[in-house]
Amino acid sequence: MSNETQNKTPEVKMPPEMAAAHAKMIAAADEVEKVVVGKRSEVLLLLTAMLAGTHVLIEDVPGTGKTTLASTLARVTGLQFRRAQFTPDVMASDITGFHIYNRQKEQFEFREGLVMCNLLLADEINRASPKTQSALLEAMEEGKVSVDGNSMEVPDPFMVIATQNPAGYVGTYPLPEAQLDRFALKLSMGYPNAAEEINIIKARKGENPLTTVKAVLTLDELRSVREMVKNVHMDDELYSYIVTLITATRKHPALALGASPRASVAMVHLAQAYAFLHGRDYVQPDDIAALFRSAIAHRLMLRQEAKLAHQTTQDVLSEILRTTEVPYKGKRGAKADDKA
């Protein structure tokens, strides 16, 4: 999508109560953009994942605003926020929690881990050991952690925003496929353009703009909006469209590993949230196409011959979008790849 299409205010087509909730979410996006300049698309995708009850991985070089985006979102949405700076010495028990013996009381006490919050920023997750990385799996998938045989629920809502530097940087451990599959979206911030960078350095000349951000939502309001999103309508043809796209990744000759059924489920929830943020109470094929590459590319594994031919997972997904028949073509909009 063009920047003009991404940034223009959508025409709202939903009942009044939904429209009021939509306005709240757009106000939240506007507030985040006061700090994270020129990243409207990334902000909306993060809010999409939040409303869908899913998790996000942000990968880019240092200094492009990954941590700032996550911490600003926490402030704007009023969620209980914790930040875990992942380093090689961070242990799995730091994430899940642990029991410690209290000599005065002569009993063991539980010290909760970093996951006991609404929004966990797992900063530079690929600098931690694989064992520590995997400690997040249960919380991300099932909303609970197991410590010494005891199971404890994490707060609701619970969202992980993980940041990482590109694989190959010194001191990084690539995330395993099982953990990558838990992230509904993988984003890249990218460098700002010249005008945006000028605005950023001007804003940082005095007070840090992050300190002036205000909460636009309460926790109860966010829960209410998430329930509304579940009622966004999706035609049977669109379920078939998602499954057709996902199945194509499993059959494509360039791919050694296609997307899992978990990806199909995530696509449904993301499409509902994305449609809601764009002012509709129904999903269109364009919503699915717009999310497809960010939701699927990180779950795939290229064959060696495809790598040698300099083919990327993004190339494969673009091809799948082009060659897959779009529901309602000629009725509700343009080709999927034109909107992706």
In degrees, rounded to 5, the angle at the alpha carbon of residue 298 between the alpha carbons of residues 295 and 299 is: 85
Q: Which residues of the chain have pLDDT under 70?
A: 1-10, 167-172, 206-207, 209, 329-340
| Structure confidence at residue 167 (pLDDT) | 58
| Structure confidence at residue 5 (pLDDT) | 42
| Structure confidence at residue 50 (pLDDT) | 96
Q: Please give the CATH number for the structural domain made up of 232-340.
A: 1.10.8.80
Domain boundaries, the chain: 232-340
Residue 13 token pair: 């087509």
pTM: 0.86
Peptide bond into 157 cis (omega under 30): yes
Q: Are 296 and 259 in contact (CB under 8 A)?
A: yes
**Count of beta carbons in the 10 Å neighbourhood of residue 94:** 18
One-letter amino acid of 177: E
Question: What count of residues does the chain have?
Answer: 340
Determine the Cα–Cα distance for residues 221 and 214; give it in Å rounded to an integer: 15
Element (H, E) at 121: strand 119-123
Residue 45 token pair: 């995708």
Determine the Cα–Cα distance for residues 200 and 203; give it in Å rounded to an integer: 5
Question: Crossing angle for the helix pair 40-52 and 219-230, nearest 10 degrees?
Answer: 80
| Long-range interactions of 20-27: CB distance < 8 A, separation 24+ | 21/221, 21/224, 21/225, 21/228, 22/276, 22/277, 22/279, 24/216, 24/217, 24/221, 24/225, 25/51, 25/217, 25/225, 25/276, 25/277, 26/277, 27/216
Determine the Cα–Cα distance for residues 214 and 260; give it in Å rounded to an integer: 39
In degrees, rounded to 5, the angle at the alpha carbon of residue 76 between the alpha carbons of residues 64 and 188 is: 25
Could you tell me the CA-to-CA distances from 194 to 38, 199, 261 in Å, in that order? Answer: 11, 9, 41
Q: Are 340 and 290 in contact (CB under 8 A)?
A: yes
151 strand-pairing partners: 146
For residue 287, the number of C-alpha atoms closer than 13 Å in the C-beta half-sphere is 27
Determine the Cα–Cα distance for residues 186 and 338; give it in Å rounded to an integer: 21
Determine the Cα–Cα distance for residues 79 and 196; give it in Å rounded to an integer: 28
Determine the Cα–Cα distance for residues 38 and 192; give it in Å rounded to an integer: 7
**Count of beta carbons in the 10 Å neighbourhood of residue 240:** 12
Q: Are 116 and 155 in contact (CB under 8 A)?
A: yes
